[in-house]
Structure 1
Amino acid sequence: MGADLQASLLDAFADPELGSLDGIRRTELSRGAWIDVLPGWLSGADQVFERLAVEVAWREERRQMYDRVVDVPRLLRFYGEGEQLPLPILDEARDQLSDHYTEELGEPFRTAGLCFYRDGRDSVAWHGDKLGRGEHEDTMVAILSVGEPRVLALRPRPGNNAGPVTSTIRHPLGHGDLIVMGGSCQRTWEHAIPKASGRIGPRISIQFRPRGVR
């Protein structure tokens, strides 16, 4: 599998290392939803990308879409609770997130879902992570991005537009950036990775979730 990644000069030679979460910035959205964003949380992220691209047993999936079955436009790998993650730095990331958010979340992050966006044609449609407890309870989903930046877009669901932020917001995420979606975000907001035109390098996202949230 080719990984046409244009690594930054600094990241190309840095051993993977997580920074502090103290500098993370929160944006209040609406109806109890919020996001925390921390650019460059993981240094050496391009090395992490290269290893994940080659070493993970990526899966192609097909899903029912109305009256036909279509290819999912990205590669996937899910690591359930207790399953060994592909790199120790991901265990460190999950543990650090659990420690940082333990008082607010009330439980640790336990699973990791990986998505490989190979180029600008790969994408994910508007959705919320509402399978399981996320449909009825406030929760958190933390996303660590490695590889080239891709836009993560967020917008309020219809009827959920009362609050300080009511329009679509866009965050280019890559090269070790972190975003955490919390509160009611999975129920009252939607997020997507839109298709992109032009020469778009590959990106891998690692989504950490608590038990019972997909």
Structure 2
Amino acid sequence: MALIPVTLEGADLAFDPAWLARAEADALFERLRADVPWTMHRIRMFGRLVDSPRLSCWIGDAGAGYTYSGTRFEPQPWPPALADLRARVAETCGEEFNSVLANLYRDGRDAMGWHRDDEPELGARPVIASLSLGATRRFVLKEAVAAGSGAVPSKLALELGHGSLLCMAGDTQRHYRHALPRTARAVGPRINLTFRRIRSAP
């Protein structure tokens, strides 16, 4: 099924709020929660190493190492639950992925701060496919404008629900930052899979 284009100037976004059927999404969530070797990574923020506010696992083909937030990650093997899914996401988004960052947000206190997926090994115009499972969380994008320019940044918020798929491509990472903010609402756990293609060593 084709994704629905999302209008945002300077970005290339497409979205399906129900890309996976409910039963399949339920089963995948439970398998990944049990089978993935979840770890609390240490990341660099404001010049110091801190515990990441979520659990993560870098998964990929041999050689698909990745450096972000000042830390180098070597991939864990693909779990069986992602073997078929990887090909289906690739067909939908028009990219061959060789890695995926899996994040487990345990409750509303777990979050992802403002950032761009613009590391050199992803290439100049990366395709990032984001599959969400579990609790619905608010995902926000904000245009990166020069400080002091007086420009009003474009913004967009999407509710990423159970089984939804968002594809970010083109110049999205160059023009926009994105985040998954904390929430005081009582929300359950969420797993997010961001499929990527590592193109070269950093």
* Superposition TM-score, scaled by structure 1 size: 0.77
CA contact (8 A) 1:81 1:211 kept: no
2:79 alignment partner AA: P
Alignment partner, residue 16 of structure 2: 38
CA RMSD, aligned part only?
A: 2.4
1:181 alignment partner AA: M
The superposition leaves residues 49-85 of structure 1 with CA deviations (integer Å, 9 ceiling, x where unpaired) of 1221122110111223235432100000011225642
Q: 1 CA distance for matches of 2:165 and 2:93? A: 14
CA contact (8 A) 1:128 1:190 kept: yes
2:161 alignment partner AA: G
SS at match of 1:79: strand
Residue pairs, 1:1-214, within 5 angstroms = 20=1, 22=2, 24-31=3-10, 33-43=11-21, 44=23, 45-82=25-62, 84-88=77-81, 90-102=82-94, 107-134=95-122, 137-159=124-146, 167-212=154-199
Give 1:114 deviation, angstroms.
0.1
CA contact (8 A) 2:111 2:181 kept: yes
2:42 alignment partner AA: R
SS at match of 2:132: strand
Structure 1 residue runs of 5 or longer lacking an equivalent are 1-19, 160-165
Alignment partner, residue 5 of structure 1: none
CA contact (8 A) 2:136 2:162 kept: yes
Q: 2 CA distance for matches of 1:127 and 1:67? A: 15
Q: 2 CA distance for matches of 1:175 and 1:56? A: 18
The sequence identity of aligned pairs, in percent, is: 34
Give 1:120 deviation, angstroms.
0.6
Change (3 A) 1:72 1:93: same
* Superposition TM-score, scaled by structure 2 size: 0.81
SS at match of 2:108: coil
Give 1:133 deviation, angstroms.
4.2
Structure 1 consecutive aligned stretches of length 4 or more whose deviation exceeds 6 Å: none
1:186 alignment partner AA: Q
